[in-house]
Amino acid sequence: MAKYKKKRARELQHDKFRDTAGRIFDRVGDRLEGQGKTILYVLGAVVLLAVLVGVYLKWSNRKADEARRALGRAIAIATAPVATASPAPGALAPAYASEKDRAQNAIAEFEKVAAKYGDPYKTEARYFIGANLLYVDREKGMNELAEVSKSSVAEAATLAKFALAQAKEEDGKYDEAAKLFSELASQKSEVVTPEIANLRLAFTYEKQGKKAEAADLLFNIVDAARKAKDADGQPLPESTAAREAGEELQKIDADRYAKLTPEAPPDNGPF
């Protein structure tokens, strides 16, 4: 009976953490819906929270639980609402006056995590510090992301490289951005998938005037997605990245788009 109580207590703790993370995923998903462009550190928040949920049972000691909670508090600040001129209907009340204001508060919390806990939490916190520094001291943020991208903590390193590539793309450093996106695509990571990395690479090629290279990438993304099957041989639903790739390909090369494998008809069930 004592063993059962201990086991059940762990299960309840896990369920509570999972449910809390789930609510955060829903809120972030609502905020990102309809935005074609990935938001740097909000995406990272969702991915890293998912990673934390996945490894919860492996890190059951008190120190690890404390580190997760501290990182979660910092992430909550990093994803808090920012005041806008025209807030969306039903949006949460803004907690910060600007992205810079929010970033400065988030950095302070992530620095506490990095100073107090070991890996993977220290490196994850450093990733968020770098991403938030882009709003405060862009050059310093890029340097921090570059350092984290070399880390042995795979998830944080991958996200840092992705954030760095996006920042360089935004700054017009297209050659550097393309190199990083290409490296990410070849890593075959589950955190930043080849599909997502190649989509960003295609957009970068477009900005470089490399329309043919961009069209090739976009075509391959969509065609692979439309041909993908599940274990039962049924078509898999297209991802957001694949849909965005299709829309972009149709804009820049309608003839190439017309040569794509036709979309699978929607599965409306037995009725």
- At 194-251, the pLDDT tens digits run 999 999 999 999 999 999 999 999 999 999 999 999 898 888 998 999 999 999 999 9
pLDDT in the model for residue 19: 47
- Looking at the fold, whether 134 and 239 belong to one and the same domain comes out as no
pLDDT in the model for residue 9: 39
261 Ramachandran zone, left/alpha/beta (phi>0; psi -120 to 50): beta
Of the pLDDT bands very low, low, confident and very high (cuts 50, 70, 90), residue 65 is: confident
- Looking at the fold, whether 167 and 200 belong to one and the same domain comes out as no
Query: Does residue 28 carry a pLDDT above 90?
Result: no
- Mean pLDDT (the chain) is 81
Query: Does residue 62 carry a pLDDT above 80?
Result: no
Query: Does residue 115 carry a pLDDT above 60?
Result: yes
What is the arithmetic mean of pLDDT over 30-34? 45
* Percent of all residues in the chain with a pLDDT value above 70, rounded to a whole number: 71
- Looking at the fold, whether 164 and 198 belong to one and the same domain comes out as no
Higher pLDDT, 264 or 119: 119
Specify whether the CB–CB gap between 71 and 113 falls below 8 A: yes
Query: Which domain-ending residue is among 171, 198, 233?
Result: 171
For tokens 């997502």, name the residue: 196
Higher pLDDT, 37 or 195: 195
- Enclosing domain of residue 23: 1-84+93-171
What is the arithmetic mean of pLDDT over 154-181? 97
- Looking at the fold, whether 158 and 214 belong to one and the same domain comes out as no
Query: Which domain-ending residue is among 171, 200, 226?
Result: 171
- Looking at the fold, whether 26 and 116 belong to one and the same domain comes out as yes
Residue 215 lies in a domain: yes
Within 8 A by CB and 6+ apart from 87, the residues are 94
Residue 176 lies in a domain: no
- Looking at the fold, whether 154 and 43 belong to one and the same domain comes out as yes
Q: Which amino acid is at 269?
A: G
In sequence order, what are the beta bridge partners of 82? 96
Cβ-in-10-Å burial (0-12, 13-18, 19+) of 96 comes to: middle
- Looking at the fold, whether 22 and 131 belong to one and the same domain comes out as yes
Helix intervals (H) in 40-153: 40-54, 62-78, 99-116, 121-133, 138-148
**Structural domains in the chain (count):** 2
The encoded tokens of residue 84 equal 């806008």
